[in-house]
Amino acid sequence: MTVSNENGQGLRPTREGLAYEADLSLRRLRPRLDAEWDRSQTPEEAICRFESRLAEHWPSLFMLLFELYGQRYDFFYHLEQILLTAARGWADRPEALRELDAHRINEPDWFQSERIVGGALYVDLFSENLGKLRAHIPYFQKLGLTYLHLMPLFAVRPGDSDGGYAISNYRSIDPRIGTIDDLRTLADDLREAGIVLVVDFVFNHTADDHVWAQNAQAGEREFQDYYYMFPDRTMPDRYEQTLREIFPTVRRGNFTWHEGMGKWVWTTFNSFQWDLNYSNPAVFRAMLDELLFIANMGVDILRLDAVAFIWKRLGTSCENQPEAHAVIRAFNAAARIAAPGLLFKSEAIVHPDEVVRYVSTEECQVSYNPTLMALLWESLATREVKLLTRSLSHRHNLPPGTTWTNYLRCHDDIGWTFDNQDAEAIGINAFDHRKFLNEFYTGQFPGSFARGVPFQHNPQTGDMRISGTMASLAGLEQAIEADSAELKESAIRRMLLLYAVTLSIGGIPLLYLGEEWGMLNDYDFVNDPAKAGDTRWIHRPKMRWEFLEELKDDGSIRKRIFTSAQRMIQLRKDLPALAGLQMELIATDNPHVLAYVRAHEGNRLLVLANFSDEPQTVAGNRLRTAGLGRFFQDRIRGTTLATSVDVTLEAYGFLWLERV
């Protein structure tokens, strides 16, 4: 299909040429596709819908696959297999989901509503199993959640499974948690309750006991090609020259020797997580099959795990490669055809410039916002919002039809992934600053309120990340130990301040469950040999339902955090200005106060947030010119204020202001 110029040299095919090829290939594949439909099972009308979406999205799917695999002699065979996989996925899609697909095609911005508020949890730690989780739907409703991310729940290898991220079978649930039918039932119940279901798609690697890995270990070439394997150190050594180490305290380097096969296996994360080889189209097809199977359980959003790592190229960091984007875009195009209601959320915990490259309607419609997360903690440590403001000023906007998830803590560590130039522009030395933040959040810096612990300290590079729960990092653990009313008050206010920002700044707020009542670090994880080596377990404690008894006790800290979070969530859902992403920063001339206006369809809300432990003032005329007119109301407290006087925020205080 390569066209030649007069001298007979190969040229890249033109876009028009490719469009023509796409059309031609579909006509050639037509008989195979027609034969695939079982018309006694799939209604004619459903086939028609598939066909019309195929006509719309096939050109992009074809071009992406051509970019990735077009040079192979067997390209056409793989193309056919991928198309048939998509058709089977649609044939297997339950009617209720097909209906939802139709709604979502008509209402593509459904996930940008102010009414979407998320929570994340580990099923086993929260409710033991999927069956019991259903009984907690009223709890999610009471808190106001409309989006639920269940941490990995598929069958995993025995022993350490990296918190479920070492999957041995994408089609069965970890038997300790339940069955596939339990997941289907839960998904139905959540849909009924208006709660969106989010599940991981762990597609960078499988566990070393996945059937593909087992076949590879049995010496089958076909399956060895599903992974990256090398007979000796030649290639691994060459790759290593430019690779980072993600889990350096677990094992040095990115490769693991497998005695049985006599080969080095590429393992970016733990030694038992084998990186999949997407340069092999059979891997793409096989994983598309798994993707559609998971979507058809009733999953609304797939969290694409570790997106940065899925393509390797010698001489690079093997992160964020152009082909990684092409692979995700191809999955997305296939999903538009076979499961059109499905969205992707990217987990790219990398440099902020790279994070946004995964976000578009053609790739991932939703993305974690790791930069905001890290800089909110940075602001609490420094008590200033300079770096946060600088970063937000040019990094908050995303393409239309996409959004952030804004979180404070998740199941992973905190890495200081801000941009060095953003820091330098305001006179901060990035290297020293990261060192300071690590000292601060591990409680070593004088005056620190935080009780975090190090994660993956690399003595060679000085790199380190932080583990710890939101409450422990915000000072509650230290305050409770000191039994100081004043310290407790500050810690609670810090937590509420962080909520006030993530619930209003633009994007889907995402709580890690337990945060809502101030769960502290759990130091007992060291007693479990499968967890002891990984400090992230410190912030993944078991849910203590007995603590919720305290929600009845008016004076309790837990009740105060819970009811405040709950109120802010309810309030958010009543403020149409908080839909979408649009956010405009307001200069307050006060280095401690973050200020921004949220606007959506003529509705406006001005948010002020004081990151210092002292009261701070913002000039009234600043607020007047930010569009508040003469009088405005704080929606949090219901008080009315005038812009004729300056506004004073108490220590860690915040306001959600609307013009009256």
Residues catalogued as catalytic: 305, 347
394, amino acid identity: H
Smallest gap from Cβ 401 to ligand GLC, in A, equals 25
Contact track, ligand GLC, 196-225, x by CB under 6 A: ------x-----------------------
Which of 305, 362, 363, 384 contacts ligand GLC by CB under 6 A?
Answer: 305
Q: Determine contact, residues 244/319, Cβ cutoff 8 Å.
A: yes
Q: Determine contact, residues 459/423, Cβ cutoff 8 Å.
A: no
Q: Which is nearer to ligand GLC, 469 or 588 (CB)?
A: 469
Q: Which is nearer to ligand GLC, 70 or 164 (CB)?
A: 164
| Window contacting ligand GLC (CB under 6 A); options: 227-235, 346-354, 381-389, 544-552 | 346-354
Report phi then psi at 128, rounded to 5: 70, -50
Q: Which residue is nearest to ligand GLC (CB)?
A: 165
Which of 120, 291, 306, 376 contacts ligand GLC by CB under 6 A?
Answer: 306
Smallest gap from Cβ 228 to ligand GLC, in A, equals 16
- The set of residues, in sequence order, having a beta carbon less than 8 Å from that of 192 and lying 6+ positions away, is none
The C-alpha atoms of residue 619 and residue 642 are separated, in whole angstroms, by 11
Q: Determine contact, residues 182/173, Cβ cutoff 8 Å.
A: yes
The C-alpha atoms of residue 369 and residue 349 are separated, in whole angstroms, by 8
Look at residues 572, 604, 397 and name the one whose alpha carbon lies nearest to residue 502: 572
Q: Determine contact, residues 162/270, Cβ cutoff 8 Å.
A: yes
Distances from the Cα of 252 to the Cα of 40, 230, 352, 421, angstroms: 56, 17, 26, 30
| Window contacting ligand GLC (CB under 6 A); options: 292-300, 398-406, 409-417, 480-488 | 409-417
165, amino acid identity: Y
Look at residues 420, 509, 490 and name the one whose alpha carbon lies nearest to residue 448: 490
Distances from the Cα of 498 to the Cα of 88, 131, 453, 474, 559, angstroms: 45, 33, 20, 10, 17
Decide if residue 412 touches ligand GLC (CB under 6 A): yes
Q: What is the dihedral of CA 330, 332, 338, 341, to 10 degrees?
A: -170
Smallest gap from Cβ 430 to ligand GLC, in A, equals 17
The C-alpha atoms of residue 360 and residue 366 are separated, in whole angstroms, by 8
Q: Buried (b) or exposed (e) across 439-459, using 16+ Cβ within 10 A?
A: bbbbbebeebbbbbbbbbbee
Distance of CA 276 to the CA centre of its chain: 20
Query: Is the C-alpha dihedral spanning 80, 82, 84, 90 positive or negative?
Result: negative
> 284 in helix, strand or coil?
helix
The C-alpha atoms of residue 144 and residue 140 are separated, in whole angstroms, by 6
Decide if residue 465 touches ligand GLC (CB under 6 A): yes
**What Rg value do the Cα atoms of the chain yield, rounded?**
26
Smallest gap from Cβ 129 to ligand GLC, in A, equals 21
Smallest gap from Cβ 411 to ligand GLC, in A, equals 6
Smallest gap from Cβ 205 to ligand GLC, in A, equals 7
> 63 in helix, strand or coil?
helix
40, amino acid identity: S
Q: Which is nearer to ligand GLC, 347 or 419 (CB)?
A: 347
Which of 70, 89, 163, 509 contacts ligand GLC by CB under 6 A?
Answer: 163
Smallest gap from Cβ 44 to ligand GLC, in A, equals 42
Contact track, ligand GLC, 109-148, x by CB under 6 A: ----------------------------------------
Which of 154, 165, 266, 358 contacts ligand GLC by CB under 6 A?
Answer: 165
Which of 70, 298, 415, 506 contacts ligand GLC by CB under 6 A?
Answer: 415
Contact track, ligand GLC, 543-582, x by CB under 6 A: ----------------------------------------
Decide if residue 246 touches ligand GLC (CB under 6 A): yes
Decide if residue 308 touches ligand GLC (CB under 6 A): yes
Decide if residue 477 touches ligand GLC (CB under 6 A): no
Look at residues 500, 493, 440 and name the one whose alpha carbon lies nearest to residue 615: 493
Which of 182, 245, 347, 477 contacts ligand GLC by CB under 6 A?
Answer: 347
Which of 101, 114, 162, 522 contacts ligand GLC by CB under 6 A?
Answer: 162
| Window contacting ligand GLC (CB under 6 A); options: 16-24, 302-310, 324-332, 470-478 | 302-310
| Window contacting ligand GLC (CB under 6 A); options: 47-55, 254-262, 344-352, 511-519 | 344-352
Smallest gap from Cβ 412 to ligand GLC, in A, equals 4
Q: Determine contact, residues 609/630, Cβ cutoff 8 Å.
A: no
Which of 362, 413, 422, 477 contacts ligand GLC by CB under 6 A?
Answer: 413
Within residues 496-535, the interface with ligand GLC by CB under 6 A covers none
Q: Which is nearer to ligand GLC, 412 or 522 (CB)?
A: 412
44, amino acid identity: E
Place of tokens 């819970």: 562
| Window contacting ligand GLC (CB under 6 A); options: 106-114, 175-183, 301-309, 573-581 | 301-309
Tell me the site size for ligand GLC, rule CB under 6 A.
Answer: 17
Q: Buried (b) or exposed (e) across 497-511, using 16+ Cβ within 10 A?
A: bbbbbbbbbbbbbbb
Overall residue count recorded for the chain in this entry = 660
| Window contacting ligand GLC (CB under 6 A); options: 159-167, 445-453, 554-562, 633-641 | 159-167
| Window contacting ligand GLC (CB under 6 A); options: 96-104, 138-146, 157-165, 505-513 | 157-165
Report phi then psi at 255, rounded to 5: -130, 150
Q: Give the per-residue SS3 of 285-306.
A: HHHHHHHHHHHCCCCCEEEECC
Which of 79, 342, 349, 571 contacts ligand GLC by CB under 6 A?
Answer: 349
Smallest gap from Cβ 348 to ligand GLC, in A, equals 7
Bridge partners (DSSP) listed for residue 405: 368, 508
Q: Which is nearer to ligand GLC, 246 or 585 (CB)?
A: 246
Decide if residue 160 touches ligand GLC (CB under 6 A): no
| Window contacting ligand GLC (CB under 6 A); options: 83-91, 289-297, 325-333, 347-355 | 347-355
Q: What is the dihedral of CA 403, 407, 412, 418, to 10 degrees?
A: 80
Q: Which is nearer to ligand GLC, 352 or 415 (CB)?
A: 415
Q: Which is nearer to ligand GLC, 269 or 331 (CB)?
A: 269
Decide if residue 352 touches ligand GLC (CB under 6 A): no
First to last CA, the chain: 65
Joined tokens for residue 47: 């086939």
Site for ligand GLC, rule CB under 6 A: 162-163, 165, 202, 246, 269, 305-306, 308, 347, 349-350, 411-413, 415, 465
